[in-house]
Chains A and B, each alone.
Chain A
Amino acid sequence: MVSGSAEFEISRRGVLACSGAAVALTAVPAEAQGPTAAAAPATLPVTLTVNGTRHDLTLDTRTTLLDTLREHLHLTGTKKGCDHGQCGACTVIVNGERINSCLSLAVQHQGDKVTTIEGLGTPDKLHPMQAAFVKHDGFQCGYCTPGQICSAVSVLDEIRRGIPSHVQADLTEKPGFTNIEMRERMSGNICRCGAYSNILDAMSDVAGERA
C-alpha cells in the first residue's frame, strides 16, 4: 500500500480496489497450494469491443460480462446489484440491445460490441439521457442509475423500432412514447430509493425531444 505517500489521493474507489486485491492475494495461493487442488480453472481468450475500444482478454470461463467490465476492464460504472437478473443494475447495451450483464458469460460475447454508462457520455459531454436524469433528479443514492440510464436509452430505441409491449392495446399498432409504455418497459430496473417518477420525467423529456 502507498497510503503513506503524500501524493496519494485517497478515494473510496481506490481503497476498495486495494482491499479487493489484498483479498485476492490471500485467497488464491491457499487454494492453489492445497493438496487436493483441482485442475486449474479453464480459461479462454475473449475479444470484446467496449465503448469503441477493443480488448483482448484471457478469462476464466466462469467470468460474467459484468465481472469482466468491472474487475478486468475497471469500468466500474456498471453496478452489481443482485447478480441474478432481478434488479437491472448491471444493464449494458450489447450489439444495440440492452441485457443483464450478470446473466451472460464473457465467452458468449466473443467479438461483441458493448456500450456501458462510460460509453454513453462523459462528465464534460453528457448523453441527453444522463443530462435529463440530472435535470429531473432521477436518482437518490445513484447505485441503480447507470443501469437505469442504459435501460432508458434502449427503451426509447425499442419504442422507436416498434417493439411491442405488455401494455399495448392493439398488438398490430406501433407503440407510443407514453408514460405507461415506459413504466412497463422499465420494470426490469429496480430503484430502492424510489426515484421512479423522476426517471419517467427524464425519459419523457428525452422522448419529447426525439418525437
Chain B
Amino acid sequence: MKSFTYERATSPAQAAAIVARTPGAKFLGGGTNLLDLMKLEIETPTHLVDVQDLKLDRIEKTREGGLRIGALVTNTALSADERVRRDYGVLARAIQAGASGQLRNKATTAGNLLQRTRCPYFYDPNMPCNKRKPGSGCSAIGGYSRQLAVVGSSDKCIATYPGDMAQAMRVLDAAVETVKADGTTRAIPIADFHRLPGDRPEIDNVLERGELITGIALPKPLGGQHFYQKVRDRASYAFALVSVAAVIQKDGSGRVSFGGVAHKPWRVAAADAALPQGAQAVAQRAFAEARPTEDNRFKIPLATRALASVIAQAKAPRA
C-alpha cells in the first residue's frame, strides 16, 4: 500500500473542500472497498479524509412522506430499520442479499453506491484495463467475460456495476444528495448517478471532484409487493450473475431494475410498461440493445427467468 496522510473531517462542506483542493485526496467511509483496492495499489490516494464523525448516520422522515438515509448509515442498520423493512422491502432485501455480515456492519450507504467494479481485469494490475489505466485497453473483451456486462457496454469497457443496494434504489427512484466544495448542495436522481462506460470507463458516476454524498432520499412508499431475486454462483456471499429488483402492484404493473448486467442499475421505461405482459415482454425491451459475449449470453435468459419467478411469486396467493 502507498503511504498516505489522514485526517478526520468535522463538517460535510469542510470534507468536500479538503478533497477538492488536495491532489490525490479521497474520502474514507467504511473503507471496505477502498482498503481492498489500496492494498492492490489500484487506488493510490495520498491523503484520506475520514468522514465518520460527520453525524450522517441517521434515517429520518422527509416532509414529502419519504425517508432520508444518512450517507454513513451502515448496510446492517439500513436493512434492519423498521420503516425500511415495512415500506421499502426491496431495499432491505437487496442489502441482505449482498456481501457478508461483517462487511454489512462496516460498509456505508454512500460507499455501497460508490463501490467499484469486480471485473477480474480491473483487479489484476498486470493486465490492461481502461477503467484502471485509461487508454491501456480492455482485457475483458475477448477475455474471461462470464460475469460482465451484456448491455450498455462500449468498445472500451464491459465492466458491471456490482452492487445490490443500488438496484433497489433505482426501482424506488431515490435521489443522491451531495455537497460540493463551495458548500452548494444538489440532489442527483439515481437514474443519472451512475454512468455508462462510453469512451471514459474510468469515470463511474457524475460526482465532481470533492463532491461528497451526504444522504439518499427515498420518495414516499410505493406500496405493492417488493422483491429482490439474486442469482449467483453460491447461495450466499457472492456477486450477482444477474439480479432483479422489482415492485409489483396488484394490477400487475410495476417497476423492475436488473443487476449484474450493465455498468449501472439497468431499468428501462418501456420494459417497466411491459410488466403486465410478463417476463419475456419485459426482457425483450430491457435487453433490446444487448451486446453479450459468447461467455455471458446466458445472462439474458437467466434474467428473464429470474423475473418470471418474481412475477409468479407476486401472483401467488399470500400465505
Contacts and interface: CB of A to CB of B under 8 A. Distances in A.
A187 B97 CA distance: 11
Contacts of B39: 83-84
Contact of B35 (A39, A104, A166): A104
A42 B236 contact: no
B3 interface: yes
Contact of B101 (A41, A103, A168, A185): A185
B1 A99 contact: no
B296 interface: no
B31 A187 contact: no
A61 B47 CA distance: 10
B106 A100 contact: yes
A88 B99 CA distance: 12
Interface string B68-84: 00000000100110100
Contact of A164 (B35, B79, B103): B79
Given A108-B28, A108-B31, A163-B76, A99 B105 contact: yes
A71 interface: no
Interface string B16-45: 000000000000100110011001000000
A103 to B, nearest CB: 5
A165 B99 CA distance: 12
A166 B102 contact: no
Interface string A58-96: 001110100000000000000000011100100100000
B50 interface: yes
B102 A98 contact: yes
A202 interface: no
Contacts of A164: 79-80, 85, 92, 96
Contacts of B3: 38-39, 41-42, 60-62
Contact of A99 (B28, B102, B236): B102
A103 B106 contact: yes
B298 interface: no
B1 A62 contact: yes
Of A104, A105, A186, chain B has the most CB atoms within 10 Å of the CB of A105
Contacts of A158: 101
Given A85-B36, A166-B236, A171-B85, A61 B96 contact: no
A56 interface: no
B32 A188 contact: no
Contacts of A189: 100
B96 A85 contact: no
Interface residues of B, number: 35
Interface in B154-176: none
A151 B1 contact: no
B6 A42 contact: yes
Nearest to B123: A84
A154 B103 contact: no
A184 interface: yes
Nearest to A104: B31
A6 interface: no
A205 interface: no
A44 interface: yes
Interface in A101-116: 102-105, 107-108
Contacts of A154: 101
Given A61-B4, A61-B5, A187-B237, A84 B36 contact: yes
Contacts of A163: 76, 80
A81 to B, nearest CB: 12
B210 interface: no
Given A61-B5, A166-B236, A188-B101, A105 B35 contact: yes
A155 interface: yes
A187 B98 CA distance: 11
A199 to B, nearest CB: 14
Contacts of A194: none
Contacts of A64: 35
Given A61-B6, A104-B35, A166 B96 contact: yes
Contacts of A122: none
A188 B100 contact: yes
Contacts of B99: 188
B246 to A, nearest CB: 15
A151 B52 CA distance: 24
Given A38-B3, A61-B5, A166-B236, 5 more contacts: A84-B39, A98-B105, A108-B50, A165-B96, A171-B92
11 contacts: A60-B3, A62-B1, A84-B36, A91-B102, A98-B105, A100-B106, A103-B32, A107-B6, A108-B52, A164-B80, A186-B101
Interface of B: 1, 3-6, 28, 31-32, 35-36, 39, 48, 50, 52, 76, 79-80, 82, 85-86, 89, 92-93, 96-97, 99-103, 105-106, 235-237
